[in-house]
C-alpha cells in the first residue's frame, strides 16, 4: 500500500483490514487494534482465521470473502454476529471492496462497523415503545395524545371502547371533530385553550356531556403539557357509574335511617301502649316481648324482598304460624294478591298480631271448636285501590264483650287510623270476634 493510502486507512474511525487474496492480513488500522484488543504483531502477516487465537475464524465471514473473490466486487452492510473471547458478543456490519492490483492480484478492503451498542439501543427503544403502548392500553382511563394544535396523534383502547369510536375516526383529527363533533364541548375547550397554556396542567376538571352514542356521561379530565416534547396528554375518567352508585348509596343510607327511626318509633309506641294496659311488670314483660317478636317477624319478611314490599297472604300466614295455626279445616285465608309497602306491612302486622293474640287467649284458637276465616278484596275508588279486610271468628261462646284494654284494641285503632289512614271496627258476636279494616293502598 502507498503511504497516502495507509494514512487514509489509519485515520478512519471504523476498524479496517486490507487482505491479500488468500485472506492474509496486509494491513490493519489503529481502530481495528483498539476495538478488538489486539496488536500489529498479532495481526499483520497472519491469516484472518488465525487472528486473536482463532477468534476471527468466522464461517459466515470466510464464506462472504471467498464468494466475493469469485463473483462480486462489492459487499455492503453484511451483518455478522459473533462471540469474541476478549470483548464478548459483537454485532458487525461488513463493507468490502475488491481492489484490482493486477489481473492476478485482487486485494480486499474490509471495513468493519461495530453496531452492537446501536442495536442494543434500538432494541431497547423498540421494547420501551412496546412497553409504553401496552401500558397505555392497560390504563382504565381513556387517554389521548394531542399535538399542540389539538390534533389527536393516538388514543388508547379504553378510549375507543368507552366512546365507541375507531382509530380511523379519531387519529389525525382535532379533538373537537372526532365522533362527528361529540367532543366539541365548551367546558373542554376552556380547559385545553385557557387553562392548559398557562398552567401546563389541569386536574379533575369535571365535564358533563350528552353523547349521541352512549348518552349522558360525567367525566373527570386531567391534562398535561409535556416539557420536552410538543405533546399534550389528556386522561379521561368516566365517573358516571361511580356517581350513580354514590347517589344510590346515599338514598339507601337515608332509607336505612328512616327505617331505623320508624322501628324505634314502633318500639316506643308498643312499649307505651303495653305499659298503659299492664297490671304488673311480669304482665308487661310478656306482652311487650311478644309484640317485639311480631315486629321482628315483619322485619324478616321485609328484608327478604329487595323492594321492601310484602305479600299480604304471606304476612298473615307468618303471623298465624307463629301462634301455631296453619291453613286447615279450622282456618281459611282467602283474597286476591295484594302487595303491602313497608309502611303498610309494619302497621298491618301489628293489627294481625293483636287479633291472633286475643284469639289464642279468649277466641277461636282457645276453643277446640273454634274456627277463623280471613278474607279481603280490592275496590277501585277515587283513582286508588282500597283494601277491605275482614277477620271473622266462629264457634266461640262469648258471654260478655271483652274490655278494650284487655284486647289491645287501642293498638289496632292506632295501626289503622294513625299509620294507615283508614278505618277499623271491632265487634263481638255471640260466636266470636269480628274485625273489619279498610284503607287505601300506597300507589
Taking Cα atoms as reference points, which of 265, 278, 353, 344 lies closest to residue 316?
A: 353
Cell matching residue 30 = 489503529
User: CA-CA distance, 345 to 263, in Å (whole number)?
Assistant: 12
Q: List 109's β-bridge partners, or say none.
A: 18, 97
* CA 287 – CA 277 distance, rounded (Å): 10
What are the pLDDT digits (tens) for 70-127? 666 788 888 888 888 888 888 888 888 887 665 666 788 889 888 888 888 888 777 7
Quote the CA–CA distance of 181 and 183 in Å, as a whole number: 5
* Residue written as grid cell 432494541: 123
Give the domains, in start order, of the chain with CATH numbers: 3-116 (3.30.450.20), 139-238 (3.30.450.20), 245-440 (3.30.565.10)
Cα 47 from Cα 34, distance rounded (Å): 19
Percent of the chain with pLDDT over 90: 8
- Cα 36 from chain centre: 57
3-state secondary structure of 225: strand
Is the CB of residue 182 less than 8 Å from the CB of residue 210? no
* Sign of the Cα pseudo-torsion (303, 307, 309, 310, in order): negative
Output the pLDDT for position 260: 65
What is the distance of C-alpha 13 from the center of its chain? 58
Mean per-residue pLDDT for 261-270?
Answer: 65
Q: Mind listing the pLDDT tens digit for each residue in 28-39?
A: 999 888 888 888
For range 386-390, the mean pLDDT: 93
- pLDDT of 249-264, one tens digit each? 787 677 656 656 666 6
Measure Cα distances from 332 to 50, 96, 373, 411, 422 in Å: 112, 109, 5, 24, 24
Q: Is the confidence at residue 385, as pLDDT, over 80?
A: yes
Question: Measuring CA to CA, which residue among 145, 322, 316, 319 is closest to residue 236?
Answer: 145
Neighbours of 188 (CB within 10 A): 21
Instruction: Give dist(CA 86, CA 171) in Å, integer.
Output: 50
* Phi–psi pair at 341, nearest 5 degrees: -70, 170
H or E element at residue 82: strand 74-84
Of residues 131 and 431, the one with the higher pLDDT is 431
Nearest CA-CA partner of 335 in 315, 349, 350? 315
- Closest CA relative to residue 15, chosen from 85, 65, 90: 90
Whether the predicted pLDDT of 136 surpasses 70 = no
Cell readout for 410 is 287501642
Nearest to 388 by CA among 374, 402, 398, 405: 374
* pLDDT value, residue 407: 44
Question: 158: exposed, middle or buried (C-beta count within 10 Å: 0-12, 13-18, 19+)?
Answer: buried
Model pLDDT for residues 13-30, shown as the tens digit of each residue: 889 998 888 889 999 999
- 3-state SS, residue 41: coil
- Contact at 8 Å (CB) between 25 and 9? no
Cα dist. 192→184, 207, 209, 244 in Å?
A: 12, 12, 16, 27
Mean pLDDT of 184-205: 84
Strand 371-381 relative to strand 331-334, pairing: parallel
Q: CA-to-CA distance for 136 and 149, rounded, in angstroms?
A: 22
More confident of the two residues 304 and 47: 47
pLDDT exceeds 80 at position 334 = yes
User: What is the rounded CA–CA span in Å between residue 159 and residue 49?
Assistant: 58
Q: Decide: helix, strand or coil at residue 94.
A: strand
Please give the Cα distance from 330 to 327 (Å, whole number): 7
- pLDDT value of position 388: 93
Name the nearest CA neighbour of 344 among 372, 384, 371.
384
Round the average pLDDT of the chain to a whole number and report it. 81
Confidence of residue 276 (pLDDT cuts 50, 70, 90): low
Q: How confident is the model at residue 45 (pLDDT cuts 50, 70, 90)?
A: very high
pLDDT of 142-152, one tens digit each? 889 999 899 99
pLDDT tens-digit map of 201-238: 888 888 888 888 788 888 888 888 888 788 888 998 98
For residue 156 the three cell numbers come to 388508547
Q: Where are the alpha helices (DSSP H) in 114-177?
A: 116-138, 157-163, 167-170
pLDDT at 172: 92
Amino acid at each position: 500500500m502507498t503511504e497516502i493510502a495507509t494514512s487514509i486507512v489509519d485515520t478512519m474511525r471504523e476498524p479496517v483490514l486490507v487482505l491479500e487474496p488468500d485472506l492474509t492480513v496486509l494491513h490493519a488500522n489503529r481502530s481495528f487494534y483498539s476495538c478488538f484488543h489486539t496488536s500489529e504483531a498479532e495481526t499483520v502477516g497472519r491469516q484472518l482465521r488465525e487472528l486473536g487465537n482463532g477468534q476471527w475464524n468466522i464461517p459466515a465471514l470466510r464464506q462472504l470473502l471467498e464468494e466475493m473473490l469469485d463473483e462480486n466486487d462489492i459487499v455492503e452492510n453484511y451483518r455478522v454476529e459473533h462471540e469474541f473471547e476478549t470483548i464478548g458478543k459483537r454485532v458487525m456490519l461488513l463493507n468490502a471492496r475488491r481492489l484490482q492490483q493486477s489481473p492476478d492480484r485482487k486485494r480486499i478492503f474490509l471495513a468493519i462497523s461495530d453496531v452492537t451498542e446501536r442495536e442494543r439501543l434500538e432494541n431497547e427503544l423498540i421494547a420501551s415503545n412496546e412497553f409504553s403502548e401496552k401500558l397505555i392500553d392497560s390504563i382504565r382511563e381513556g387517554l389521548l395524545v394531542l399535538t399542540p394544535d389539538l390534533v389527536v396523534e393516538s388514543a388508547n383502547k379504553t378510549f375507543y371502547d368507552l366512546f365507541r369510536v375507531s382509530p380511523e375516526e379519531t387519529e389525525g383529527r382535532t379533538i373537537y371533530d372526532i365522533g362527528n363533533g361529540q367532543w366539541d364541548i365548551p367546558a373542554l375547550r376552556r380547559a385545553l385553550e385557557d387553562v392548559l397554556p398557562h398552567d401546563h396542567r389541569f386536574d379533575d376538571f369535571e365535564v358533563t356531556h350528552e353523547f349521541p352514542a352512549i348518552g349522558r356521561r360525567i367525566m373527570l379530565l386531567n391534562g398535561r403539557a409535556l416539557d420536552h416534547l410538543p405533546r399534550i396528554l389528556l386522561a379521561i375518567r368516566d365517573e358516571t357509574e361511580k356517581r350513580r352508585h354514590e347517589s344510590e348509596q346515599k338514598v339507601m343510607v337515608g332509607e336505612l335511617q328512616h327505617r331505623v327511626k320508624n322501628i324505634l318509633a314502633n318500639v316506643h309506641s308498643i312499649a307505651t301502649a303495653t305499659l298503659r294496659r299492664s297490671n304488673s311488670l311480669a304482665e308487661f314483660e310478656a306482652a311487650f316481648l311478644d309484640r317485639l317478636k311480631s315486629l321482628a317477624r315483619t322485619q324478616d319478611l321485609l328484608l327478604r324482598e329487595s323492594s321492601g314490599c310484602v305479600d299480604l297472604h304471606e304476612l298473615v300466614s307468618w303471623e298465624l304460624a307463629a301462634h301455631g295455626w296453619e291453613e286447615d279445616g279450622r282456618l281459611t285465608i282467602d283474597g286476591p294478591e295484594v302487595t303491602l309497602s313497608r309502611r303498610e306491612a309494619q302497621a298491618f302486622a301489628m293489627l294481625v298480631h293483636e287479633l291472633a293474640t286475643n284469639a289464642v287467649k279468649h277466641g277461636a284458637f282457645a276453643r277446640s271448636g273454634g274456627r277463623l276465616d280471613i278474607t279481603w278484596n280490592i275496590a277501585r275508588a277515587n283513582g286508588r285501590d282500597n283494601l277491605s279486610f275482614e277477620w271473622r271468628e266462629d264457634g266461640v261462646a262469648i258471654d260478655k264483650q271483652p274490655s278494650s284494654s284487655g284486647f289491645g284494641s287501642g293498638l289496632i285503632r292506632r295501626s289503622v287510623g294513625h299509620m294507615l289512614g283508614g278505618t277499623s271496627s271491632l265487634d263481638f258476636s255471640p260466636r266470636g270476634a269480628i274485625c273489619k279494616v279498610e284503607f287505601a293502598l300506597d300507589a
